[in-house]
Structure 1
Amino acid sequence: MDPVTNPYAPGAGTRPPELAGRDEIRRRVTTCIARLIRGRSDKSVLMVGLRGVGKTVLLDQMRKDVEAIGARTIRIEAPEDRSLPAILSPQLRVALLSLSRVESAKGLAKRGLQALAGFVSAMKVTYKDIQVGIDAEAIPGLADNGDLESDLSDLLETCGQAAKSAETALVIFIDEMQYIEELQFGALISALHRCNQKELPLTVIGAGLPQLLARAGNAKSYAERLFDFPMIGPLDSESAGVAISKPAIEEGVEFEAEAIERIVEHTHGYPYFLQEWGKHAWDVAEESPITAKDVQSATVTALAALDESFFRVRFDRLTPAEKRYMRAMAELGPGPHRSGDIASQLNVKVTSLGPTRNNLISKGMVWSPSHGDTAFTVPLFDEFMMRIMPTE
């Protein structure tokens, strides 16, 4: 098979050739934004899911979807070591400059830039990582009090007013939201609440690991009334099969039914893994149709590629104690696992593992589906831990 025409695209945030099984959630978000543009309120959407389910790809596609119906958008990713004001301010500047070119919104967009100037000046005292220049004179008393919750509410309100005057909606897309510090997350939720109360067309479409739901609830008790939290999981067998077969058919290549079954079985329907297996099955096969035997050979190279990149980059961030904790989880299976069972596996007291578990949650390696339970955030990581650390 010609590797040049290989259609599969494993990569961080790389759009697959066929975005299968996600039509419903895309429609949900497009409907939400269409309602906002028309002056109607709706809950926003914060998607939650494990690594490798395609949340980043979905965010980028949703952004294209809502821009196609007239929305203005910005997109940010929340890293572990940056503040929300630092990553949000430059993008809001871009959005307000864009709105200022709409005649009906020019005055309110200018006021938004003045609010942003005051916000940045006030926040630099607390969040020293803010680096953005604003060519506008701040209005004393507008978003410049130095209190994040109050100032961010003022700022987003002015942005929402500008969007409304331009007869559009401003949609803030945020990836990796689990890394937003709780106080800052609470301020964002409060600001969105104000916009919702004032019927302003500004909202957030976000994505993060499963702990995002608990973090939102901890930040503000009314978060569940502002957002829907759809769980983005692996694809069902039919959608997974389409994700594999359709790109190949468009290149004049077919998969045997058994070959597709084997790929779905190995990947458990996770979109990132489907792309990895599809790529390696294509490269291994000599001709069409691609067979189950080709998939068997491809499994060796696909796992090696995952071990070297997708899994290893996460493993290398762990301390020795964290690796032992994860290895003990792997010994128990895919999970989730009770904290007591993990402690028994390590032959230590449950209380001694608290700091290690909390660090792993902070790093996005594990999460707690329910009180006392711990689960991997990375699918198939238990199998990887058994390979990389064959003995406990």
Structure 2
Amino acid sequence: MNPVNNPFAPGAGSRPPELAGRQAIIDDARVAIERALLGKPSRSQMFLGLRGVGKTVLLNAVETMADEHGHLTSMIEAPENKPLGELLLPRVHQVLRKLSMTEAAKAKAYDGLRALRSFASAFKFDVAGVGIAVEPEAGVADSGDLQNDLPELFIRIGEAAKAAGKAWTLLIDEVQYLKQEDLAALIVSLHKISQRELPILFFGAGLPQVAALAGEAKSYAERLFHYPDVGALAEADAKAAIRQPVNDEGAVIEEEALTEIFLKTRGYPYFLQEWGHQSWNIAVGDTITLNDARQAETKTLKRLDEGFFKVRLDRLTGKEREYVVAMAQLGSGPYRSADVAEALHETVQSLGPRRAQIISKGMIYSPSHGDIAFTVPMFDDYLIRNRGNLG
């Protein structure tokens, strides 16, 4: 088949040609977006799942949908070493300036800009590149305590958006990298907005541990957020994610080939895209056969090993690699921390800091007390395949 027409282009956050199996999540987001414009509250949503399941794709889809419905939107990817307030500063400034263009919201937007100037001064954020050309408002968002100041700033944004007949949708990816104090302040801010029924929506995405992190930050987080589980696709949806794009290009794929791809990928979206990509390039004529899908395995695993998996492994130190290899050698997870310690001939206590560091790097998480699991699907298979080259 002509590689130029290949419908599959797997990449970080790239939208697949067929967004299969996620319609319920999209529909819930659409309802929340439309309700916000009517002044009706909806729970904030946090998409949780392993790496490569399409959380970022969903955030991008929600952002597009919010834009199409007239929301002002701000998308942030949380890094591991930058405070939330600094990330928000230019986005909030942009939103308030847009709101100030509406005559009915001019005064409220101006108040919001003054609060933002106070906020930036309190936390000593550099405003030179942002250009906030207003004087700060004393006593508003300037205490230097994020859990006090961020809610005041959000309220000002919400009031300006309401005056303009608009809504603001904030989207944050990689929520697990937010510091606990930043996550707590965000939760408090969203709680205040909910209480005042102001038109601000929040959609986040992160690894499975985010629900626990949010609960630790604020006990009422479980009532504030809806946590859609973004996991592997069911067989019918996984097959549709491959079949439909192939059909749209005027080609076909054998049912046996679809079954082979589903079984080998276990329905994980990124792996489906990679397998579909390689199968298309191997196929001759206008049909992807079972033999094509089987031949695609070598190239697919090579691409995954050299990209998707290796990028994550490279973040680990030698000792941390030793720990995750020991996990993989125990078989399929989740794994007991005590079993990993026994395999390494150490104690759970001595390995605690190493385990915590690997968790902080987003490589493993704790699904329940005493258990650990990989955040990357099929990472155990990768480690076993390549354990002789991981030194």
TM over 0.5: yes
| Residue 159 (structure 1) aligns with | 157
Choose the corresponding residue for 1:175, options 173, 176, 181. Answer: 173
- Secondary structure of residue in 2 paired with 1:136: coil
Q: CA offset at residue 269 of structure 1?
A: 0.7
| Residue 5 (structure 1) aligns with | 5
**Alignment of 1:97 onto 2:97:** yes
- Secondary structure of residue in 1 paired with 2:287: coil
**Alignment of 1:322 onto 2:327:** no
| Residue 61 (structure 1) aligns with | 61
- Secondary structure of residue in 1 paired with 2:165: coil
**Residue by residue, what CA displacement relative to the aligned partner does 1:114-138 show, whole Å, maximum 9, x if unpaired?**
11111011111xx679963312211
Q: CA offset at residue 391 of structure 1?
A: 8.7
User: 2 CA distance for matches of 1:366 and 1:269?
Assistant: 20
- Gap change, CA 1:109 and 1:24, over 3 Å in 2: same
Q: CA offset at residue 361 of structure 1?
A: 0.7
User: 1 CA distance for matches of 2:106 and 2:389?
Assistant: 65
**Residue by residue, what CA displacement relative to the aligned partner does 1:120-177 show, whole Å, maximum 9, x if unpaired?**
11111xx679963312211111111211111111100000001111112111011000
Unaligned runs of 5+ in 2: none
Q: What are the equivalent positions in structure 2 for 1:60-79 lying under 5 Å apart?
A: 60-79=60-79
User: 2 CA distance for matches of 1:320 and 1:207?
Assistant: 29
Q: CA offset at residue 69 of structure 1?
A: 2.1
User: 1 CA distance for matches of 2:284 and 2:86?
Assistant: 51
Under a length normalisation based on structure 1, what TM-score does the superposition of the two structures give? Answer: 0.97
Choose the corresponding residue for 2:222, options 218, 221, 224. Answer: 224
| Residue 247 (structure 2) aligns with | 249
**Alignment of 1:120 onto 2:120:** yes
Q: Tell me, yes or no, if the aligned pair for 1:120 and 1:130 is still in contact at 8 Å.
A: no
User: 1 CA distance for matches of 2:81 and 2:230?
Assistant: 26
**Alignment of 1:43 onto 2:43:** yes
Q: Tell me, yes or no, if the aligned pair for 1:82 and 1:129 is still in contact at 8 Å.
A: no
User: 1 CA distance for matches of 2:230 and 2:289?
Assistant: 30
User: 2 CA distance for matches of 1:293 and 1:328?
Assistant: 35
User: 1 CA distance for matches of 2:242 and 2:209?
Assistant: 30
User: 1 CA distance for matches of 2:280 and 2:141?
Assistant: 55
| Residue 267 (structure 2) aligns with | 269
- Secondary structure of residue in 1 paired with 2:197: coil
- Gap change, CA 1:144 and 1:391, over 3 Å in 2: closer
| Residue 52 (structure 1) aligns with | 52
- Gap change, CA 1:320 and 1:131, over 3 Å in 2: farther
Q: Tell me, yes or no, if the aligned pair for 1:83 and 1:129 is still in contact at 8 Å.
A: no
Q: Tell me, yes or no, if the aligned pair for 2:51 and 2:376 is still in contact at 8 Å.
A: yes
**Alignment of 1:369 onto 2:367:** yes
Under a length normalisation based on structure 2, what TM-score does the superposition of the two structures give? Answer: 0.97
- Secondary structure of residue in 2 paired with 1:318: coil
Q: Tell me, yes or no, if the aligned pair for 2:120 and 2:127 is still in contact at 8 Å.
A: no
Q: CA offset at residue 343 of structure 1?
A: 1.2
Amino acid at match of 2:237: S
User: 2 CA distance for matches of 1:129 and 1:275?
Assistant: 42
Unaligned runs of 5+ in 1: none
Q: CA offset at residue 390 of structure 1?
A: 3.8
| Residue 283 (structure 2) aligns with | 285
- Gap change, CA 1:340 and 1:129, over 3 Å in 2: farther
Q: Tell me, yes or no, if the aligned pair for 1:86 and 1:131 is still in contact at 8 Å.
A: no
Amino acid at match of 2:3: P
Percent of aligned pairs with the same amino acid = 49
- Secondary structure of residue in 1 paired with 2:253: coil
Amino acid at match of 1:171: T
Q: What are the equivalent positions in structure 2 for 1:347-386 lying under 5 Å apart?
A: 347-386=345-384
| Residue 87 (structure 1) aligns with | 87
- Secondary structure of residue in 1 paired with 2:144: coil
**Residue by residue, what CA displacement relative to the aligned partner does 1:14-55 show, whole Å, maximum 9, x if unpaired?**
111111111100111111122222111221101110000000
Q: CA offset at residue 67 of structure 1?
A: 2.1
- Secondary structure of residue in 1 paired with 2:307: helix
Q: Tell me, yes or no, if the aligned pair for 2:120 and 2:126 is still in contact at 8 Å.
A: no
Q: CA offset at residue 2 of structure 1?
A: 0.6
User: 2 CA distance for matches of 1:155 and 1:176?
Assistant: 23
User: 2 CA distance for matches of 1:15 and 1:315?
Assistant: 25
- Gap change, CA 1:131 and 1:344, over 3 Å in 2: farther
User: 2 CA distance for matches of 1:89 and 1:198?
Assistant: 23
| Residue 18 (structure 1) aligns with | 18
Deviates further, 17-26 or 35-44? 35-44
Q: Tell me, yes or no, if the aligned pair for 1:49 and 1:208 is still in contact at 8 Å.
A: yes
**RMSD of aligned alpha carbons:** 1.5
Amino acid at match of 2:96: L
